[in-house]
Structure 1
Amino acid sequence: MKAGQFLHASSLLDESIFEQAIIFITEHNDKGAMGFIVNKQFSRGLTELEEFKHGIPFPLYEGGPVDQEHLFFVHQRPDLIPDGSAITEKVYYGGDFKTAVAHINTRVLTGHDIKIFIGYCGWDNEELEAEIAEGSWKLTDAGEIFD
C-alpha cells in the first residue's frame, strides 16, 4: 500500500459512515495511514461556514470521521497553490489555503482542480492492512478524485 491509491468499501462496511465510500490515501508510513472519502458531498457548502460566507458557492466533502472541526484539501494546481505536498505526480495535499480560497472565489480554481474536505480518515500502524485482510476494503490504483 502507498499514498495515491484508492480504497473501495466492501459490503462489510454497509450501514456505517464508510458505506460505498471511496477513499484516496494521502499518507502511508510506519505510523499508519491517512486519507479522504472522495465520493460523499457534505450537507453544507464552503460559503455556509461563517469564515467563508462572502465567497462563491463551492462544495465540501465528508473527508472522514476524524477531526471534523478542520478543513483539508487536495488539488492538482501546484502552480497556483504554493506549499502543497506531492501525493502523486498530479495530486497535492494541502498548501496555502487562503490562496486556494481566493482562486476559488475568482473562479480560477474549480471542482476539477481542488476538493475540500471536512475531517479525514486515519488508521494506526497496521490497522488498515488488517481491515484490508479481513475484506473491509479493496485496494486499487484506479480512481478519480476530481469531478
Structure 2
Amino acid sequence: MDDMPNIAPESGSLLISEPFLQDENFVRSVVLLCENNEMGSFGLVLNKLSIFKLNELLEDCDLDNEVYVGGPVEQNTLHFIYFGEQVLEDSVSLGAKLWWGGDFAELIGKNKLGLVNISDFRFFLGYSGWENGQLKEELIDNTWIVCDNSHTEKIFTVAPDDLWRVILKNMGGDFQVLANYPIDPRLN
C-alpha cells in the first residue's frame, strides 16, 4: 500500500461521479465535499432533487425552498449550504464564497428580518459519508473525478439535471468528452 498516491481532496472540492458508475445513489452525481479528515469524509449530493419542499418537512416553517437528497446516510437530517458572504456565525467556510451549515434558527430569524437572500441557500436531506480511507480507495479506483471549488457558483445557477454535464464541460480537456458520454452507450 506504500505505492498508493496521496489523494486527499480538500473541503469545498467537488466529486464528479465517473460516467460508468452504476450505484443508484450516485449516478451522474456532483458531490460537494464538506469535510475530509482522518475520521472520514462528509459530502452533499448537489444535483438530486427530493420530492419535498422545506415547509413540508418542518413545522412552522414558511420557506418553500426545494430540498435535495444529500445522500443515502441519515435521510432524517437536514443540512444546508449557501453562497456569498458569511451570514451565519457558525457556518464553515468551504472556500470560493461557499458556506456549510450554521444555526438554522438564526437563518430563519434573519430571513424574517430580510437580512438573507434565501435563494442563495440549498437544503439537503441526508448526506454522503465515507469511513476513513474509503473515499481514498474510491478515488484510486477512479469512481470520482475531483474538481476544485472554482465551479461552486454553478451549484446555484445551473439546473440540477444539467450540473454534472456542465461542470465536466467547464473542466475542459478530456472531461468535455466524458460530459457527452451517454448513460447507456449500447443505445448509441
TM-score (ref. length: structure 1): 0.87
Query: What is the number of equivalent residue pairs in this alignment?
Result: 145
User: Do 2:86 and 2:99's aligned partners in 1 also have CA atoms closer than 8 Å?
Assistant: no
| Pair 1:78–1:98, CA change in 2 (3 A) | farther
Q: 2:143 aligns with which of 121, 131, 136?
A: 136
| Pair 1:77–1:97, CA change in 2 (3 A) | farther
1:55, distance to aligned residue in structure 2 (A): 0.3
Matched, 1:94 2:101: yes
User: Do 1:72 and 1:94's aligned partners in 2 also have CA atoms closer than 8 Å?
Assistant: yes
| Pair 1:106–1:40, CA change in 2 (3 A) | farther
TM alignment of 1:120-131, pairs within 5 A: 120-131=127-138
User: Do 1:103 and 1:109's aligned partners in 2 also have CA atoms closer than 8 Å?
Assistant: no
Counting aligned pairs with the same residue, the percent is 29
Match of 1:7 in 2: 15
Q: Secondary structure at the match of 1:120?
A: strand
Matched, 1:33 2:41: yes
Q: Which has the higher helix share?
A: 2
Q: Secondary structure at the match of 2:151?
A: coil
1:134, distance to aligned residue in structure 2 (A): 1.0
1:90, distance to aligned residue in structure 2 (A): 1.3
TM alignment of 1:46-65, pairs within 5 A: 46-52=54-60, 54-65=61-72
Q: Which AA in structure 2 matches 1:20?
A: R
Q: For each residue in 1:3-24, what CA deviation from the matched residue of structure 2 results, as whole angstroms up to 9, or x when unmatched?
A: 1100111133235110110000
- Structure 2 unaligned blocks of 5 or more: 1-8, 158-188
1:95, distance to aligned residue in structure 2 (A): 0.8
User: Do 2:70 and 2:124's aligned partners in 1 also have CA atoms closer than 8 Å?
Assistant: yes
| Pair 1:103–1:30, CA change in 2 (3 A) | same
1:146, distance to aligned residue in structure 2 (A): 2.1
User: Do 2:34 and 2:42's aligned partners in 1 also have CA atoms closer than 8 Å?
Assistant: yes
Q: Which AA in structure 2 matches 1:48?
A: E
| Pair 1:105–1:18, CA change in 2 (3 A) | farther
Q: Which AA in structure 1 matches 2:94?
A: I
For 1:35 and 1:3, locate their aligned partners in 2 and report how far apart those are by CA, in whole Å.
Answer: 9
| Pair 1:19–1:105, CA change in 2 (3 A) | farther
- Structure 1 unaligned blocks of 5 or more: none
- Between structure 1 and structure 2, the one with the greater Rg is 2
For 2:50 and 2:112, locate their aligned partners in 1 and report how far apart those are by CA, in whole Å.
Answer: 19
Q: Secondary structure at the match of 1:51?
A: coil
TM-score (ref. length: structure 2): 0.69
Q: Secondary structure at the match of 1:55?
A: coil
Match of 2:156 in 1: 146
